[in-house]
Amino acid sequence: MTARTLLLLPPPGTGLQSAAQRVFDALGAHRPRFIERHGANQSYDFYWQAHCGAALGRAACRVRGDLWEPQEPQNSIHIELEAHAGAALALAGLQEELLARGWSLPPTPIG
């Protein structure tokens, strides 16, 4: 799957479900569901997923945290939106909206 991604830092104390709901509300995504995948060698993946409206071609949006405990407040949120003609614009608008609501960008590496 080709996707566009965005990494943001949520306000302190924000859990994965709350962060995902804010993202989905901003993108007009509906019917979110929690996905848990257990793979080989004890690998484990979990995220929230929802599908956006017709303006984004019903593209899937996935929201992951950085901590292995989904109930814990997350330090960073990784947002992945399936590639679509409007995906880049949608993520730019999402970033602007979330930054206005107290989210922040991760520090840029020096070098």
Q: What is the pLDDT of residues 3-52, one digit of tens each?
A: 899 999 999 999 999 999 999 999 999 999 999 887 776 667 789 999 99
**Which pLDDT score is estimated for 48?**
96
Instruction: Establish if 111 belongs to a structural domain.
Output: no
CA torsion sign for 46, 54, 84, 2 is: positive
Residue with tokens 């520090």: 107
Instruction: Establish if 62 belongs to a structural domain.
Output: yes
**Which pLDDT score is estimated for 58?**
85
| Total residue length of the chain | 111
Cα 85 from Cα 80, distance rounded (Å): 15
**Which pLDDT score is estimated for 31?**
92
Residue with tokens 């679509």: 84
**Which pLDDT score is estimated for 57?**
77
Instruction: Establish if 109 belongs to a structural domain.
Output: no
Instruction: Establish if 105 belongs to a structural domain.
Output: no
Task: State which residues form the domain around 55.
Answer: 3-100
Q: Which pTM value belongs to this model?
A: 0.89
**Which pLDDT score is estimated for 3?**
87
Q: What is the CATH number of the domain that holds 54?
A: 3.30.160
Instruction: Establish if 7 belongs to a structural domain.
Output: yes
Cα 104 from Cα 101, distance rounded (Å): 9
Per-residue model confidence as pLDDT tens digits over 46-82: 899 999 987 777 889 999 999 988 889 999 999 999 9
- Domains in the chain: how many in total? 1
The per-residue DSSP string of 11-49 comes to: PTT-BHHHHHHHHHHHHT-EEEEEEEEE-GGG-EEEEEE
Inter-residue contact 14 to 75 (CB < 8 Å)? no
